[in-house]
Amino acid sequence: MSIALENVLARAGLKADAHEFLSLVEDAARRLSPPNPDPSHYFSADQRAALADVGLDLSPRDEAEPDFRARTVAAHAVLADSALSVGQAAEMLNVDDSRIRHRLKEGRLTGWKDQGWRLPAWQFNGSGVLPGLEVVLRAVPEDQPALVVAAFMNTPQSDLVISDRPATPRQWLLAGGDPEQVARLVATLGEPF
Which among 18-22, 65-69, 86-90 has the top mean pLDDT? Answer: 86-90
Question: Based on the domain organization, do 55 and 99 belong to the same domain?
Answer: no
* 144-193 pLDDT tens trace: 999 899 999 999 999 999 999 999 999 999 999 999 999 999 999 887 76
Question: Based on the domain organization, do 58 and 42 belong to the same domain?
Answer: yes
* 29-41 pLDDT tens trace: 777 666 556 767 7
* 96-107 pLDDT tens trace: 999 999 999 999
Pairing of strands 117-119, 84-85: antiparallel
- Contact status, residue 177 vs residue 130, Cβ threshold 8 Å: no
Question: Based on the domain organization, do 54 and 107 belong to the same domain?
Answer: no
Number of domains in the chain: 3
Q: How many CB atoms lie within 10 A of CB 17?
A: 13
Question: Based on the domain organization, do 165 and 121 belong to the same domain?
Answer: no
CA proximity to 116, closest of 101, 103, 105, 129: 101
Return d(Cα 152, Cα 33) in angstroms, integer.
22
pLDDT for the residue 6 = 78
Which structural domain, as residue segments, surrounds residue 90? 84-127
pTM of the entire predicted model = 0.71
Question: Based on the domain organization, do 68 and 88 belong to the same domain?
Answer: no
Question: Based on the domain organization, do 73 and 104 belong to the same domain?
Answer: no
Question: Based on the domain organization, do 148 and 193 belong to the same domain?
Answer: yes
Domain end residue (candidates: 79, 106, 138): 79
CA proximity to 190, closest of 154, 158, 146, 143: 143
- Contact status, residue 48 vs residue 58, Cβ threshold 8 Å: yes
